[in-house]
Amino acid sequence: MKKHLSKVLVVASMLSLASCAGGPNAQTGTVLGALGGAAVGGIIGHQSGRGLEGAAIGGALGGVGGNMIGNAQDQRNYQRQQQYYGQQQQGYYR
């Protein structure tokens, strides 16, 4: 049990650091992915008699996946913003 608790704490600390390394969509994606993954993992793990472990694994995987999706959205938003401001400046200096 102690071994599993330390793994859960390591994964939770990694997720908390990963959520700080991005924009608002990455942070939101991390939280929502972790919550959804923990719920699904808990349900699946409960069927095999290991609900807590399933929730921990599902939460970790969901958090990482949500962060990746949110970060991709932040990158697209940044590129669109740069294109918009680039077009505005070109029209201004003509």
**What's the whole-number mean pLDDT along residues 9-37?**
77
**What's the whole-number mean pLDDT along residues 43-51?**
92
**What's the whole-number mean pLDDT along residues 49-74?**
94
Confidence tier at 54 by pLDDT (50, 70, 90): very high
DSSP class of 15: H
Q: Which helix (H) or strand (E) holds 31?
A: helix 24-47
Q: Does residue 94 surpass a pLDDT of 60?
A: no
How does 5-15 read in b/e, with b if 16+ C-beta sit within 10 Å? eeebeebeeeb
Question: For position 66, what pLDDT does the model report?
Answer: 95
Higher pLDDT among residues 46 and 20, named by residue: 46
